């Protein structure tokens, strides 16, 4: 495959992804309505998988919080159909959105990273706390999809203002696990990183990282990494900060040229960016709009017609969420629950 061809595919994928995002943004108001109205929970909800910051406890001393029992929200179908990489357009505040990549041996970079100091992610303030923060600088230009996984570097859609602590204590161990798994097995990992912003804050409260190995079930996680720095109080609205006990002084490096650059960049993208995302509620959906099937499900029963499908069957995916019954082990369990062999799907043959 030549480079132009690859680029064409990547571009095509990217637009598919954006279409999906727009679709997703359009359904957000609905998700909010449902949130406030608990009586209609059982209704015609097309809600897919919802992550809410409300479900995350305040940071105590663990850099990471496990979400959804470590099971990613994306379903098997996306896992089997997605390849390449996609990055959301910046929103009207210049903030990053969902990023997703299929990591394989071929995406791992062999070269080393070059620093790119020109990109100023939303909320960026060059801030030093000498002696308090490891490496002195509070913020890193934090890659959503790690450089060590795809080699993606100076992409403003992939860089957020992240604390040194989140970068090294929160995200890095997971990135290293994925890299090690991919390089040692040659298998693939679907990897999605979502920065989560509260209201109009310019600095993310944290990032959600979901990963699942494709060829086997050996690597799987769904974690929230807190964008905090012990000893520092951050104003997430602006990116300003101060030390907890006032014994350390923040040293800001304000470069006016950088500020103007950011301002003009934001006005440039305002015209064609997607609708502003709901800050703390992220709703994921599959490219076709079907509810994804959790990756650890092996069989899906249809409660309405009592048919049984393999989790990978298209009919399973097309089954409405409220009619689905999930089975995680072998199919005897499904047989015992009222899906006799004569009701097995003729196409996927469970
Ligand atoms: Zn089937």
pLDDT tens string 251-304: 877 554 333 333 333 333 332 233 334 345 555 554 455 677 777 789 999 998
8 Å CB contact between 99 and 84: no
Query: What CA dihedral angle connects 54, 57, 62 and 65, to 10 degrees?
Result: -50
Tell me how far the alpha carbon of residue 72 lies from the centroid of ligand 1, in angstroms.
23
| Residue 153 to residue 237: CA distance in whole angstroms | 26
Residues at Cβ < 5 Å from ligand 1 ion: 309, 313, 315, 345, 347-348
| Dist. CA 202 → ligand 1 center (Å) | 45
Instruction: Using pLDDT thresholds of 50, 70 and 90, give the confidence band for residue 50.
Output: confident
Which class for 97: exposed (0-12), middle (13-18), buried (19 or more C-beta within 10 A)? Answer: buried
Whole-prediction pTM: 0.64
For residue 349, report the distance from its CA to the centre of ligand 1, in Å: 7
Between the CA of 200 and the centroid of ligand 1 the distance, in Å, is 44
Tokens of 281: 């509620």
Distance CA 120, CA 262 (A): 7
| Domain residue limits, the chain | 3-116+140-228+262-284, 299-343
pLDDT tens sequence across 87-113: 888 999 999 999 999 999 999 988 776
Q: How far is the CA of 341 from the centre of ligand 1 (A)?
A: 13
Q: How far is the CA of 310 from the centre of ligand 1 (A)?
A: 6
Please give the distance, rounded to the nearest whole angstrom, from the Cα atom of residue 137 to the centre of ligand 1: 54
Question: Residue length, the chain?
Answer: 350
Question: Is the pLDDT at 23 greater than 50, yes or no?
Answer: no
Does the domain formed by 3-116+140-228+262-284 have CATH 3.40.570.10?
A: yes
**157 CA distance to ligand 1 middle (Å):** 38
3-state secondary structure of 113: coil
What's the CA-to-centroid distance between 343 and ligand 1, angstroms? 10
**pLDDT on residue 254:** 57
How far, in Å, is the centroid of ligand 1 from the Cα of 214? 20
- With pLDDT > 70 as the criterion, what percentage of the chain qualifies? 74
What pLDDT does 330 receive? 87
CA of 81 to the centre of ligand 1 (A): 17
**What sign does the dihedral 181-162-117-242 (CA atoms) show?**
negative
Segment 122-166, tens digit of pLDDT: 999 988 898 899 888 999 999 999 999 998 877 899 999 999 999
Q: How far apart are CA 317 and CA 50, in angstroms?
A: 18
Find the range with the poorest average confidence among 11-25, 63-77, 83-97. 11-25
Distance 348 CA to ligand 1 centre (A): 4
């Amino acid at each position: 495959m030549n480079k132009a061809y690859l680029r064409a595919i990547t571009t095509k994928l990217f637009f598919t992804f954006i279409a999906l995002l727009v679709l997703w943004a359009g359904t957000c108001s609905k998700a909010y309505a449902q949130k406030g109205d608990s009586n209609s929970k059982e209704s015609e909800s097309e809600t897919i998988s919802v992550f809410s910051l409300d479900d995350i406890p305040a940071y105590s001393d663990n850099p990471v919080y496990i979400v959804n029992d470590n099971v990613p929200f994306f379903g098997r179908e996306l896992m089997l159909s997605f390849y390449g990489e996609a990055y959301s357009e910046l929103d009207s505040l210049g903030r990053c959105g969902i990023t997703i990549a299929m990591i394989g041996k071929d995406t791992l970079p062999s070269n080393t990273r070059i620093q790119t100091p020109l990109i100023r992610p939303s909320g960026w303030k060059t801030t030093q706390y000498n002696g308090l923060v490891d490496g002195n600088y509070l913020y890193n230009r934090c890659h959503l999809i790690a450089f060590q996984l795809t080699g993606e570097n100076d992409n403003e859609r992939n860089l957020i203002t992240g604390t040194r602590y989140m970068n090294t204590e929160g995200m890095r161990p997971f990135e290293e696990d994925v890299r090690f798994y991919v390089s040692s097995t040659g298998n693939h990992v679907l990897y999605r990183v979502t920065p989560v912003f509260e209201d109009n804050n310019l600095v993310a409260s944290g990032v959600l990282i979901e990963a699942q190995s494709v060829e086997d079930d050996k690597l799987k996680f769904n974690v929230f990494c807190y964008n905090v720095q012990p000893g520092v109080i951050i104003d997430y609205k602006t990116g300003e900060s101060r030390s907890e006990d006032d014994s350390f002084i923040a040293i800001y490096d304000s470069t006016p040229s950088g500020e103007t650059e950011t301002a003009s960049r934001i006005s440039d993208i305002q015209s064609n960016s997607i609708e502003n995302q709901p800050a703390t509620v992220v709703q994921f959906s599959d490219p076709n709009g079907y509810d994804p099937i959790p990756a650890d499900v092996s069989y899906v029963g249809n409660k309405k017609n009592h048919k049984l499908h393999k989790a990978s069957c298209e009919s399973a995916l097309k089954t409405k969420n409220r009619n689905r019954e999930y089975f995680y082990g072998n199919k005897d369990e499904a047989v015992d629950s009222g899906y006799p062999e004569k009701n097995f799907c003729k196409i996927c043959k469970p």
